[in-house]
């Protein structure tokens, strides 16, 4: 072993980053990533400050605009950021906030009692990651303006005129050197703004897109607050109980607001917020809500004879089936786990929420006995189905199937036992299964052919799912088990590839498989293990030269380049039409293949789409098809 060369490690080796340099050095630490999520997080940080003003009762309108040249404008009619000189920095408060990390009105100040973040941290991050930023403040009868670039003031604070009202107007352009792309998703921003308007009663939020002609404008204003939001989330689902439960109560200086209702869905839709920040990973407030719901419902059910003697209590899973809820709390010093604030860590939030919800829910059940009876009868059915599913699962386990001791006979396994390098191809039919078995690399690629279309699990309970031989084979092949026994650590393949024919039947099978993965194997999607293979649509041959074409647009480009020459064009409608060499070269060879990784950026929007396309509401599906028919591609004719 070579002797290591000594290197110095002294005080001079410690790098001190001044100003906002740490943000530019490690942007992912502050906004999560430099991809799409991080880019949109800049808007969330700026809008969040305006929403905080609204929560405190100082702002009634927020405008967000897409401007040309990748610029975003956000303005409000709040109090306006202070512009007087800061006693410590000797600069204006505005410049201090824009150019200094951990500087703002939310550190120990009473100016903000319950806000989403640390005013100054968020906005300074946006300043640091923008090549251009202009802030215009209206307050004390005058307008003030200052420009920044990459977290540094480029102009002095100027008084540019008189004004009547107050507010803050910010225009920024993200740094193309930081982000992978500067393309903002309009729908993503509109959905976020709609959500903020729902969560803040009597707040008007306007979105404008000035990059298109004519300009687009959307306005949001909801007097009903989270009850209106709940109704929006429900959509056209059939209701179990008629009246919405609503709680608005203060416990231990924590304001607890919640609304929920039950639908005929099998999934739960829980939406939790802290100071208007969406906590998609939940946290102590959501735990308190769940605990109160389970305890209160079970106490009421026993007291009123729905549960008797030694009958088992409803589980939390029983009580959450079909639940659509919104839980929103306001707390003075939120402690989030992670810089992007996806999970609340305050331990005091759990008992406060539990007491508030428990008290109001018991009163709701006693005052609405018919509603109580309907939802408890639903719980009884859910409990019965859960026990039936457990019995079905136990029967399978007795046969040693789901434990992985009896792999399905049609699975062509791979020799590698390393999940990180192993791939499972799920293919339709024996013909494609035969071709892919011959085409694969047996060391790391396994093939599981499925017979026909699997069960649509969107409207099926677990006991019925476990009776499906095709789904059972897939569960066994994956090795993770399912439902309560699901264990991601036992996944045998870190690439699970859906490989179907490029026709309408193939697309239908993809949708059915994705529905199964989304509803019952969601961690596989969340961790990036699910892929869709992209086999070629056409083979174009000119003399001895072959062109494999994957899209219609690519086909047109190649035909245009080739010009008027003699050629043959073959349209692949099935994987079985390709010989093993072609299938390997075009679709399975890691060096040449094309995969689509399945990701879920907007889980709630995805949930609504799955409900629409795979649920039982035919009129809703018909309307969806009519609205998007012109955008459909690759349909069989």
232 neighbors 198 (Cβ within 8 angstroms): yes
568 DSSP β-pair partners: 541
- Measured between alpha carbons, how far is residue 244 from residues 136, 230, 231, 493, 510 in Å? 43, 9, 9, 44, 37
Q: Is the pLDDT of residue 635 over 70?
A: no
Q: Give the C-alpha separation, 381 to 371, whole Å.
A: 16
Mean pLDDT of 428-432: 76
Of the listed ranges 32-41, 267-276, 462-471, the least confidently predicted one is 462-471
- The per-residue pLDDT for 326 is 96
Q: Give the C-alpha separation, 32 to 337, whole Å.
A: 12
Name the 3-class secondary structure at 201: coil
Q: Is the pLDDT of residue 498 over 80?
A: yes
- The per-residue pLDDT for 632 is 60
- The per-residue pLDDT for 625 is 74
Which is nearest to 386 in space by CA: 323, 466, 473, 496? Answer: 466
Q: Is the pLDDT of residue 11 over 70?
A: no
Catalytic residue among 63, 76, 428, 611: 428
Q: Give residue-wise pLDDT tens across range 150-166.
A: 999 999 999 999 999 99
Residue with the bigger pLDDT between 133 and 267: it is 133
Q: Give the C-alpha separation, 265 to 425, whole Å.
A: 31
Residue with the bigger pLDDT between 476 and 16: it is 476
Q: How confident is the model at residue 484 (pLDDT cuts 50, 70, 90)?
A: confident
Tell me whether residue 173 is one of the annotated catalytic residues: no
- The per-residue pLDDT for 445 is 97
Catalytic residue among 173, 210, 505, 607: 505
Of the listed ranges 59-73, 77-91, 253-267, 590-604, the least confidently predicted one is 590-604
Q: Is the pLDDT of residue 36 over 80?
A: yes
Domains and CATH numbers, the chain: 21-220 (3.30.565.10), 226-389 (3.30.230.10), 423-535+596-605 (3.40.50.670)
State pTM to two decimals. Answer: 0.71
Mean pLDDT of 111-136: 73
Catalytic residue among 270, 503, 554, 577: 503
214 preceded by a cis bond (ω within 30 of 0): yes
* Range among 52-61, 356-365, 618-627 with highest mean pLDDT value: 356-365
45 neighbors 126 (Cβ within 8 angstroms): yes
Residue with the bigger pLDDT between 430 and 361: it is 361
Name the 3-class secondary structure at 428: strand
Q: Give the C-alpha separation, 157 to 261, whole Å.
A: 51
Q: How confident is the model at residue 169 (pLDDT cuts 50, 70, 90)?
A: very high
Q: How confident is the model at residue 1 (pLDDT cuts 50, 70, 90)?
A: very low
Q: What DSSP character marks residue 532?
A: E
462 neighbors 505 (Cβ within 8 angstroms): no
Share of the chain above pLDDT 90, in %: 57
Of the listed ranges 140-144, 284-288, 618-622, the least confidently predicted one is 618-622
Q: What DSSP character marks residue 12?
A: G
Tell me whether residue 270 is one of the annotated catalytic residues: no
Q: Give the C-alpha separation, 431 to 439, whole Å.
A: 12
85 DSSP β-pair partners: 92
Q: Is the pLDDT of residue 637 over 70?
A: no
Catalytic residue among 169, 354, 458, 501: 501
What is the average pLDDT value for the chain, to the nearest integer? 86
- Burial degree of 14 (CB within 10 A; 0-12, 13-18, 19+): exposed
Q: Give the C-alpha separation, 166 to 477, whole Å.
A: 63
Tell me whether residue 209 is one of the annotated catalytic residues: no
Tell me whether residue 394 is one of the annotated catalytic residues: no
């Amino acid at each position: 072993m070579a002797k290591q060369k000594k290197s110095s490690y002294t005080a001079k080796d410690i790098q001190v980053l001044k100003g906002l340099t740490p943000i530019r050095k490690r942007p992912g630490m502050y906004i999560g990533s430099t991809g799409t999520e991080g880019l949109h997080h800049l808007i969330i940080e700026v809008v969040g400050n305006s929403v905080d003003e609204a929560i405190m009762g100082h702002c009634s309108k927020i405008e967000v605009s897409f401007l040309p040249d990748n610029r975003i404008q956000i303005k409000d009619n709040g109090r306006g950021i202070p512009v007087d000189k800061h006693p410590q920095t000797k600069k204006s408060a505005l410049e201090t906030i824009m150019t200094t990390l951990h500087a703002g009105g939310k550190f120990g100040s009473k100016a903000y009692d319950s806000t989403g973040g640390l005013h100054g941290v968020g906005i300074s991050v946006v300043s640091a990651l923008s090549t251009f930023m202009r802030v215009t403040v209206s307050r004390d009868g005058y307008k003030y303006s200052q420009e920044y670039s990459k977290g540094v003031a480029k102009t002095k604070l100027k008084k540019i005129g008189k004004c009547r009202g107050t507010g803050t107007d910010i225009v920024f352009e993200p740094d193309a050197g930081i982000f992978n792309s500067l393309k903002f998703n309009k729908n993503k921003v509109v959905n976020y703004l709609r959500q903020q308007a729902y969560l803040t009663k009597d707040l008007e939020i306007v979105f404008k897109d000035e990059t298109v002609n004519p300009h687009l404008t959307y306005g949001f204003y909801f007097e009903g607050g989270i009850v209106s939001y709940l109704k929006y989330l429900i959509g056209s689902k059939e209701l179990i109980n008629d009246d919405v439960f609503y709680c608005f109560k203060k416990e231990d200086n924590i304001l607890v607001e919640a609304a929920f209702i039950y639908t005929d869905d099998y999934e739960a839709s829980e939406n939790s917020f802290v100071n208007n920040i969406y906590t998609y990973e939940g946290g102590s407030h959501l735990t308190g809500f769940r605990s109160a719901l389970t305890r209160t419902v079970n106490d009421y059910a026993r007291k009123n004879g729905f549960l008797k003697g030694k009958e088992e209590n409803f589980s939390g899973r029983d009580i959450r089936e079909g639940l659509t809820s919104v839980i929103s709390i306001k707390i003075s010093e939120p402690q989030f786990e992670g810089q992007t604030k996806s999970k609340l860590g305050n331990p005091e939030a759990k008992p406060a929420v539990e007491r508030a919800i428990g008290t109001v829910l018991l009163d709701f059940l006693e005052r609405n006995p018919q509603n109580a009876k309907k939802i408890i009868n639903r719980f009884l059915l859910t409990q019965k189905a859960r026990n039936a599913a457990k019995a079905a699962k136990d029967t399978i386990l007795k046969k040693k199937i789901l434990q992985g001791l009896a792999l399905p006979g049609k699975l062509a396994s791979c020799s590698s036992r390393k999940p990180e390098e192993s791939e499972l191809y799920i293919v339709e039919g024996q013909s494609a299964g035969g071709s892919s078995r011959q085409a694969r690399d047996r060391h790391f690629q396994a093939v599981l052919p499925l017979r026909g279309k699997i069960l649509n699990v969107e409207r099926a309970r677990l006991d019925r799912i476990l009776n499906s031989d095709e789904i059972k084979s897939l569960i066994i092949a994956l090795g993770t088990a399912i439902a309560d026994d699901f264990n991601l650590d036992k996944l045998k393949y870190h690439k699970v590839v859906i490989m179907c024919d490029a026709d309408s039947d193939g697309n239908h099978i993809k949708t059915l498989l994705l529905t199964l993965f989304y509803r019952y194997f969601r961690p596989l999607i969340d961790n990036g293990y699910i892929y869709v293979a992209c086999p070629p649509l056409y083979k174009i041959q000119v003399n001895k030269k072959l062109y494999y074409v994957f899209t219609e647009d690519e086909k047109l480009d190649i035909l245009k380049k080739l010009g008027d020459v003699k050629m043959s064009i073959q349209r692949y409608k099935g994987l079985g039409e390709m010989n093993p060499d072609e299938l390997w070269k075009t679709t399975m060879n890691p060096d040449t293949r094309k995969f689509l990784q399945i990701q879920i950026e907007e889980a709630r929007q995805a949930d609504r789409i799955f409900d629409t396309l795979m649920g039982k509401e035919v009129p809703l599906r018909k309307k969806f098809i009519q609205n998007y028919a012109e955008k459909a591609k690759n349909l069989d004719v």
